[in-house]
């Protein structure tokens, strides 16, 4: 299914690489920490302007605590594709002044360059290329950008889920993992264990105490031992607190655990195992709190089929793409959990997300935008239905 038009898209995008870099610099300079609504809204207005230029019917969905959601639609009708991006970063306003954007050969270093302003540039230019070359598909295309992904998308989950359910397929412009499109993401949950013991004077009354820290030590080892790398399940005791002073038998200790798993079944099994922990000292009490957490994005046959199609389109345009998995979550976990085939990791190739070393690879932008544009031209409903 060699397609001359896809190669035209790639050529157009490569010809506009410099403009993509300029756009990325502009987006980086519009700093957008999750918790600074005025800044995120400024970025949102800028992107909304771009989407209007691209012929999208733009709507701003107001939010009070975080930045407004920006949504643009092309073509009416059921099905089609919704592209998801997040505008927020983990960096405070003022970070760019201390760490200005810098291009070094093929690399662009910048605040949020990889996570995920590069992904926004890719989506904007995929849409632009389709329009400029008269190749925009007839089906419904929606592009929605939220602004609280880095804190769990609590304020935008409703919109994300509604859009996912009303389209055939979800695209997510998170950065790839080691350059690979993401066809699998782990689910992640938080659990707290509190041990209640009994306080006592460590000198006068040592035997009367029930040492909560000692009890917790047993529980920590038990939780850590639940990690099973062979199936991708991990349990991490990440925070610990307890006791008051060294001459008091501690009455209370607490740990915070993060669990991750690649399938819902494994996630629930791990969660169950933790909730069934019993105190080693029968006089101590365990209080276990939490939930299995956000669901994994499992590599379903539909998701695998989306990647295979993308890989074929890329090969046809003359380059190779790979798929991979990650332990990290994204809004893709939410949409995949609803059963909507989700293609994630469509953003800019790079390294150092959430770190000061963050950079993106410039030449990946036209290629990835071409993959997105070519995928938007495909009958993806048929691709995912054929995989069932």
Residue pointed to by tokens 């009455």:
251
Which range binds Zn ion by CB under 5 A, 50-58, 109-117, 194-202, 373-381? 109-117
Nearest distance, CB of residue 190 and Zn ion, angstroms:
19
Give me the least distance between CB of 278 and Zn ion, in Å please.
Answer: 39
Site for Zn ion contains 84 (CB under 5 A): no
The residue with tokens 């332990």 is 327
- Can you tell me the distance from the alpha carbon of 205 to that of 225, in angstroms, rounded to the nearest whole number? 34
Q: Kindly state the number of chain residues that form the binding site for Zn ion, as judged by CB under 5 A.
A: 3
CA distances to 22, 73, 131 from 27, rounded to whole Å, are: 9, 21, 22
Asked whether 27 and 121 are in contact (CB, 8 A), the reply is: yes
Coil, strand or helix: which one is 364? helix
Phi and psi, residue 314, nearest 5°: -65, -45
Tokens of 62: 């107001």
Identity of the residue, 284 or 365, whose beta carbon is nearer to Zn ion in the bound complex: 365
Nearer to Zn ion, 266 or 342 (CB): 342
Cα 166 from Cα 172, distance rounded (Å): 16
Q: Is 219 or 326 the residue whose CB approaches Zn ion more closely? A: 326
Nearer to Zn ion, 67 or 80 (CB): 67
| Rounded distance between C-alpha atoms, residue 27 and residue 33, angstroms | 12
Member of 88, 115, 298, 361 binding Zn ion (CB under 5 A): 115
**Two structure tokens written together for 78:** 């059921």
- Can you tell me the distance from the alpha carbon of 95 to that of 98, in angstroms, rounded to the nearest whole number? 5
**Residue with the closest Cβ to Zn ion?**
115
215, 218, 223, 228 alpha-carbon torsion, rounded to 10°: 180
Nearest alpha carbon to residue 232 among 190, 185, 191: 185
Least distance in angstroms from the C-beta of 86 to Zn ion: 6
Residue 111, interface with Zn ion (CB under 5 A)?
Answer: no
Give 245's Cβ-side CA count (13 Å radius): 6
Handedness of CA 16, 21, 26, 30 (dihedral sign): positive
List binders of Zn ion among 214-243 (CB under 5 A).
none
Stretch that binds Zn ion, among 114-122, 138-146, 249-257, 371-379 (CB under 5 A): 114-122
Is 74 within 8 Å of 57 (Cβ atoms)? yes
Task: From 94-102, 105-113, 115-123, 189-197, give the range in contact with Zn ion by CB under 5 A.
Answer: 115-123
Nearer to Zn ion, 114 or 255 (CB): 114
Q: Which is nearer to Zn ion, 156 or 211 (CB)?
A: 156
CB of 141 to Zn ion, least distance (A): 21
Angle, CA of 157, 160 and 162, to the nearest 5°: 105
Query: Is 116 a residue that touches Zn ion (CB under 5 A)?
Result: yes
Radius of gyration for the alpha carbons in the chain, expressed in angstroms and rounded:
24
Binding segment for Zn ion (CB under 5 A), chosen from 49-57, 112-120, 265-273, 280-288, is: 112-120
Query: Using CB under 5 A, which residues numbered 163 to 192 contact Zn ion?
Result: 174
CB closer to Zn ion, 113 vs 116: 116
Closer CB to Zn ion, 149 or 323, in the complex: 149
Window contacting Zn ion (CB under 5 A); options: 110-118, 210-218, 294-302, 361-369: 110-118
What minimum distance in Å lies between the beta carbon of 353 and Zn ion? 7
Question: Shortest Cβ distance from residue 107 to Zn ion (Å)?
Answer: 19
Question: Helix or strand or coil: residue 22?
Answer: helix
Nearer of residues 172 and 374 to Zn ion, judged by Cβ:
172
**What's the min distance (Å) between Cβ of 4 and Zn ion?**
34
* Residues forming the site for Zn ion (CB under 5 A): 115-116, 174
């Amino acid at each position: 299914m060699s397609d001359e038009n896809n190669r035209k898209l790639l050529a157009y995008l490569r010809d506009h690489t410099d403009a993509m870099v300029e756009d990325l610099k502009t987006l980086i300079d519009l700093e957008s920490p999750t918790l600074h609504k005025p800044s995120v809204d400024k970025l949102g207005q800028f992107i909304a302007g771009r989407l209007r230029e691209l012929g999208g019917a733009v709507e701003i969905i107001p939010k009070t605590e975080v930045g407004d959601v920006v949504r643009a639609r092309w073509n009416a009708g059921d099905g089609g594709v919704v592209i998801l991006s997040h505008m927020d970063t983990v960096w405070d306003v003022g970070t760019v002044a201390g760490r200005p954007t810098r291009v070094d050969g093929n690399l662009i270093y910048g605040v949020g360059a990889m996570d995920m302003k590069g992904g926004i540039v890719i989506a904007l230019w995929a849409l632009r290329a389709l329009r400029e070359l008269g190749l925009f598909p007839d089906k419904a295309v929606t592009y929605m950008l939220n602004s609280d992904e880095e804190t769990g998308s609590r304020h935008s989950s409703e919109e994300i889920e509604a859009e996912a359910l009303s389209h055939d397929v979800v695209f997510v412009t998170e950065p790839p993992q080691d350059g690979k499109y993401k066809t699998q993401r782990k689910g992640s949950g938080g659990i707290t264990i509190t041990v209640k013991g009994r306080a006592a004077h460590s000198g006068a009354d040592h035997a009367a105490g029930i040492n909560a820290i000692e009890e917790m030590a047993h529980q920590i080892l038990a939780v850590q031992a639940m990690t099973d790398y062979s199936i991708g399940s991990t349990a991490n005791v990440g925070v610990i607190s307890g006791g008051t002073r060294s001459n008091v038998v501690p009455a209370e200790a607490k740990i915070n655990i993060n669990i991750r798993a690649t399938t819902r079944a494994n996630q629930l099994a791990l969660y169950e195992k933790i909730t069934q922990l019993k105190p080693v000292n029968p006089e101590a009490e365990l209080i276990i709190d939490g939930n299995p957490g956000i669901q994994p994005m499992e590599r379903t046959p539909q998701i695998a089929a989306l990647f295979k199609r993308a890989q074929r389109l890329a090969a046809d345009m003359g380059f190779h793409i790979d798929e991979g998995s990650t332990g990290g979550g994204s809004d893709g976990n939410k949409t995949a959990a609803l059963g909507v085939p989700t293609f994630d990791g469509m953003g800019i190739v790079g390294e150092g997300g959430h770190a000061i070393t963050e950079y993106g690879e410039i030449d990946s932008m036209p290629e990835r935008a071409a993959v997105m544009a070519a995928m938007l031209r495909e009958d993806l409903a048929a691709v995912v239905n054929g995989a069932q």
